[in-house]
Structures are given as structure tokens and as C-alpha cells.
């Protein structure tokens, strides 16, 4: 089998993949893959904004670090965290060079907002569509680069390392294509589709983590999963629409089915702005106490025009679902939102496999600890994808002159993977670990997940997108439940 050689294979067109491409040396020949359209990813869905110390008069690195440590339950990696906070403001300012616009105040300074867990206003935002603004401007920048070949709707179906080369099989327009590179950056995003209810986009099946795990890379803290307290409550939709934390930052209340502000009882100091895991946990406690899943977010006491202008996209989406948030409370419930763990990386974003980098949500830098502080993930995506690019730039002294290399690779042809694997995994995960892990369900779930894992030992199935996604979410469920079992056995969750 012949593999076409590139200097770098970048998997993912979210903010981490794009920013890596923009920071790689222009002499390098780069292949960028995107499983679906370029903007179908978690980056484009980010609403609230990006956290950074941009106003040194009212904020400091120490405070940003302190807030992140508190949210992360002090399980954060200090070296990575210092880099994030201290280098982040430069990357956020650099976004302007690609045309990204943030909301500004009357003096023309970036208008910083507040979100849960932040002790200062430090969130730069573009109304309530910050991710889409950054994503689309960075795409414009990457598409101008002549050294980057961007292929959308191209699924990385298999990856292996032979000698110094990462060998990639890619399914595009019904045909398999084969590529090789000595450096690969996995920027494949989150794992939300392991759950029934998630805010994540359809691509979030954890493919990069599965490939890295199967190549032998270290995966860390994969059971550190964040459940957002305020997704629009709609049991008929797989992708739950997020109601940004910024709505609570601007003064919204959380109400139970009796119309009471229950957070005052559980968290008298931080109230609705306690970190996400705390608020999600309080909702579940209150739900159990009242035997009701009806919860509401209410910002109707604020000026109606202000609400519509500050949150135009959220306002419109919620209106389409039948609620006028400027006038009435809207139904919410927690759902899966973010993964703190992933492919373990060093300070240059390199995994435990030489030449294999990971950036963004699929990586584990340790900056978030056990729970992510709001708006720190776009910052992490920027800072650590740039560091991956800079490390590759340093290492690749000589451009690979080989145009193609040849290796044995088994055929991807076969019969279709049986239907229902993904549905079964989702219901196992929803039962076993939603906001909090349940020991018995985790143990019984793990037994079944192990049985399903054996499906992928046989080389009889067609290796297409269905296969890859089923394999990824099964592998992720296996890794998450195994880690929880270990945590229970060590007494961490008792």
C-alpha cells in the first residue's frame, strides 16, 4: 500500500486544529482533515466566550489561577496551568490579527463579562456566538495558506505508527486514501456522543482518543467529565441546546418546580454562580428532594431589550422552542458538556508517543483539574495547539523529501457493523455516570461494554464512519468506566 507523505497530519478543524495550522512553519506541507463540514464541531457552538487576564488593573494571573484551582478541586497540573494563564492573553489578543472581533465598551476596550467560578470580569466574547466568530475567522486564515491542504468530509478511519511514520487511512467521497507523516496533531474534540444528552456536536465521538489509546498513548483522567447545569430541557433532541453560563453571569436565577431559588439554600455565598459541577449536583439533590425534574432559568427580571441584545442567538433559539426568555423562565436540566481528561500531553502538547501531539478537548493537559472553569477551554485550545506547532517547527529541521512510502495495511472492506451499539453504550453511560457515578451500574455496565469491545477484535467489518464512531464511543465507555471502578476501589468516590 502506498501512502502519500506530508510533514504534518492535523486531524480536526476546530479552533485547536486551525490555530495549530496557523502557527506551523509555512515551509511544512500539512494535511488538515475534518470529519464533516469545517464548522460542524464544538468550537463553533461556544457561546459564552474566552477567559483571559486582559485587564491587569482589575485582575491578575494569580486570581485567574486561583479561580481555576478552586473549580478544578485543586487537581490541576500547575505547570500547564501557569502556561495557560500567563501565555493566554497574548493568544487572545493575537486573534485580532485574524479579524476576530470581541464586543467592546464605550471606551473601545474589550467588554469583559463574568461567568460562574470567576472572581473577576475576564471573559472576552462576541455577543453569544464567540466560538463561531473565532472558528470562521481562523478558517478564513487557514484557507489562505498554500502549504495546508484542507479536506472536509474526510473521516480518519484508522491510524498506526510504523517506523517514524504515522499511517492514516481516510475515507472521503466513498473512497479510501492513504497518508503518512512523521508528526500528527490530534485535535478531534470531545466525547459528548457517549451520552444520550449532551451539548456536543455530532462529531464528538472521541475518535482521536480511541486512535491514540490503540496506538499505546497514555490516556489520563478520562472520567473527569463535566455536566453543564443549564441545557434547554428537551428530551426529544440528542443535541441539547446550551444556555450559556453568561446568562447566570448577567443575573439569571435558578428556580425549582415551586418557583423557589433553591441555590440560596445550598450555596448561600456563590448562589447561581458556583462552579458547574456544584450547580449540577445541587439540581440533582433538589430533584431528588422534590421528586421532580422541572427546573427553570429566569432572567425575566432584567431589562427585556438588554436580554435580547446581549443574548441574541440564545433568545432566538429559545423563542423557536416556544419560550420568550425576556418575559418568562425557561426549562433547563443538566447534561454532558465537556471532557477534562484525554490524551496525556507534556508542556509541548506531545503525547507519550514521539511525534504524536494532542490539543484541545481530546487532550489532557491537566489545566482544568477535576472540573473546568467556564471559558477556559477555548483558551486551552489556543495556547496548547500553538505550543504543539512551535515544538514541531523546532523539531522539523529537514523537510521530508519522500513523496510516498509503502507499508502493509489490511483491507477496510467487510460487512456493516451491527446497528444499535452506540444506542446501547449511551444508555449504559447515562445510567452509570450522570453528574455522579453509581457504583453498581458502573460495574454491570463495564461487563457489557467489555463484551461489545470484542466486536472490534474481528476484522470482518467495513471500516467506515459508523464503525469508527461505534468503536470510539465503546472504547471511551470502557476507559471511563474502568477508571471509575479504579477510583471506587481506591475509595476516592466513597
Ligand X SMILES: Cc1cc2nc3c(=O)[nH]c(=O)nc-3n(C[C@H](O)[C@H](O)[C@H](O)COP(=O)(O)OP(=O)(O)OC[C@H]3O[C@@H](n4cnc5c(N)ncnc54)[C@H](O)[C@@H]3O)c2cc1C
Binding residues (CB under 6 A) for ligand X: these are 11-17, 33-36, 41-43, 45-50, 130-131, 155-156, 187-190, 199-200, 203, 207, 242, 338, 360-361, 375-378, 381, 468
Exposed/middle/buried for 103, CB within 10 Å: 0-12, 13-18, 19+?
A: middle
Name the one residue in this structure whose C-alpha cell is 470482518.
Answer: 460
Smallest gap from residue 125 Cβ to ligand X (A): 8
Nearer to ligand X, 313 or 399 (CB): 313
Q: Minimum CB separation from ligand X for residue 404, in Å? A: 21
- 309 burial type by CB count under 10 A (0-12 exposed, 13-18 middle, 19+ buried): exposed
Which residue, 138 or 442, has its beta carbon nearer to ligand X?
138
Residue 247 — φ and ψ, nearest 5°?
A: -65, -40
343-347 contact pairs (CB < 8 A, 24+): 343/186, 343/208, 343/209, 343/212, 343/217, 343/218, 343/219, 344/217, 344/218, 344/219, 344/220, 345/384, 347/79, 347/80, 347/83, 347/387
Q: Minimum distance from CB of 210 to ligand X (Å)?
A: 9
d(CA 83, CA 88): 8
Q: Which is nearer to ligand X, 45 or 442 (CB)?
A: 45
Of 84 and 381, the one with the shorter C-beta distance to ligand X is 381
What is the smallest separation between the CB atom of 409 and ligand X, expressed in angstroms? 17
Complex with ligand X: residue 131 or 437, whichever CB lies closer: 131
List C-alpha distances in Å: 205 to 42, 146, 155, 362.
11, 30, 12, 10
Beta bridge partners of 333: 231
Partners of 151 in the β-ladder: 33
Nearer to ligand X, 274 or 381 (CB): 381
- Of 48 and 72, which CB lies nearer to ligand X in the complex structure? 48
C-alpha cell at 252: 439569571
For the CB of residue 494, give the shortest distance to ligand X in the complex, in Å.
30
Supply the minimum distance, in Å, between the C-beta of residue 440 and ligand X.
Answer: 30
Helix axes 15-23, 376-395, angle to 10 degrees: 30
Q: Which residue, 123 or 449, is less far from ligand X as judged by CB? A: 123
Active-site entry in 158, 276, 386, 426: 276
In terms of CB distance, is 139 or 283 closer to ligand X?
139
Q: 36 near 175, Cβ under 8 Å?
A: no
Active site residue 276: yes
Name residues whose C-beta falls within 8 Å of residue 399's C-beta, 6 or more positions apart in sequence. Answer: 7, 27, 28, 29
Distance, in Å, from the CA atom of 480 to the CA atom of 494, rounded to the nearest integer, reads 17
CB atoms within 10 A of CB 277: 24
Give Cα separations from 179 to 186, 377, 401 (angstroms).
15, 30, 14
- Contact criterion met (CB below 8 Å) for 165 and 413: no
Q: HSE-up of 83 (CA within 13 Å, CB side)?
A: 20
Shortest distance, position 42 Cβ to ligand X, whole Å:
3
Q: Which is it for strands 30-33 and 148-151: parallel, antiparallel or unpaired? A: parallel
Q: How far is the CB of 469 from ligand X (least distance, A)?
A: 8
CB of 94 to ligand X, least distance (A): 16
- Catalytic residue list: 276
Amino acid at each position: 500500500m502506498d501512502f502519500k507523505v506530508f510533514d504534518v497530519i492535523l486531524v480536526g478543524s476546530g479552533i485547536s486544529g486551525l490555530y495549530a495550522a496557523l502557527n506551523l512553519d509555512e515551509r511544512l506541507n500539512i494535511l488538515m482533515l475534518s470529519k464533516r463540514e469545517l464548522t460542524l464541531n464544538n468550537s463553533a457552538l461556544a457561546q459564552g466566550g474566552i477567559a483571559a487576564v486582559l485587564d491587569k488593573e482589575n485582575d491578575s494571573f494569580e486570581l485567574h489561577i486561583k479561580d481555576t484551582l478552586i473549580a478544578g478541586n485543586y487537581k490541576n497540573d500547575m505547570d500547564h496551568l501557569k502556561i495557560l494563564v500567563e501565555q493566554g492573553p497574548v493568544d487572545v489578543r493575537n486573534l485580532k490579527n485574524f479579524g476576530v472581533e470581541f464586543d467592546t465598551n464605550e471606551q473601545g476596550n474589550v467588554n469583559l463579562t463574568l461567568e460562574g467560578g470567576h472572581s473577576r470580569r475576564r471573559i472576552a466574547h462576541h455577543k453569544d456566538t464567540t466560538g463561531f466568530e473565532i472558528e470562521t475567522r481562523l478558517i478564513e486564515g487557514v484557507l489562505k495558506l498554500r502549504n495546508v491542504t484542507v479536506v472536509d468530509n474526510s473521516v480518519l478511519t484508522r491510524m498506526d505508527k510504523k517506523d517514524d511514520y504515522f499511517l492514516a487511512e481516510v475515507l472521503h467521497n466513498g473512497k479510501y486514501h492513504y497518508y503518512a507523516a512523521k508528526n500528527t496533531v490530534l485535535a478531534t474534540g470531545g466525547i459528548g456522543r457517549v451520552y444520550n444528552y449532551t451539548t456536543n456536536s455530532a462529531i464528538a465521538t472521541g475518535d482521536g482518543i480511541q486512535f491514540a489509546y490503540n496506538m499505546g498513548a497514555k490516556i489520563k483522567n478520562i472520567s473527569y467529565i463535566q455536566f453543564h447545569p443549564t441545557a434547554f430541557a428537551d428530551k426529544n433532541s440528542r443535541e441539547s441546546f446550551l444556555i450559556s453560563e453568561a446568562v447566570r453571569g448577567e443575573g439569571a436565577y435558578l428556580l425549582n418546580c415551586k418557583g423557589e431559588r433553591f441555590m440560596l439554600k445550598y450555596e448561600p455565598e456563590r448562589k447561581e454562580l458556583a462552579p458547574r459541577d456544584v450547580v449540577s449536583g445541587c439540581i440533582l439533590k433538589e430533584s431528588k428532594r422534590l421528586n421532580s425534574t422541572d427546573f427553570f432559568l429566569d432572567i425575566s427580571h432584567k431589562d427585556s431589550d438588554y436580554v435580547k441584545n446581549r443574548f441574541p442567538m440564545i433568545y432566538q433559539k429559545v423563542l423557536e422552542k416556544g419560550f420568550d426568555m425576556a418575559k418568562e423562565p425557561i426549562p433547563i436540566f443538566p447534561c454532558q458538556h465537556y471532557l477534562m481528561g484525554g490524551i496525556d500531553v507534556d508542556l509541548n502538547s506531545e503525547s507519550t508517543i514521539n511525534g504524536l501531539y494532542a490539543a484541545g478537548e481530546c487532550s489532557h493537559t491537566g489545566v482544568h483539574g477535576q472540573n473546568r472553569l467556564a471559558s477556559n477551554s477555548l483558551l486551552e485550545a489556543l495556547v496548547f495547539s500553538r505550543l504543539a506547532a512551535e515544538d514541531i517547527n523546532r523539531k522539523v529541521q529537514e523537510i521530508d523529501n519522500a513523496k510516498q512510502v509503502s507499508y502493509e495495511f489490511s483491507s477496510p472492506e467487510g460487512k456493516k457493523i451491527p446497528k444499535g451499539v452506540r444506542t446501547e453504550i449511551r444508555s449504559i453511560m447515562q445510567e452509570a455516570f450522570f453528574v455522579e457515578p453509581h457504583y453498581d451500574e458502573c460495574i454491570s455496565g463495564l461487563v457489557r461494554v467489555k463484551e461489545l469491545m470484542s466486536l472490534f477484535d474481528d476484522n470482518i467489518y467495513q471500516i467506515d464512519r459508523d464503525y469508527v464512531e461505534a468503536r470510539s464511543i465503546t472504547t471511551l465507555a470502557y476507559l471511563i468506566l474502568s477508571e471509575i471502578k479504579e477510583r471506587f476501589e481506591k475509595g476516592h468516590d466513597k
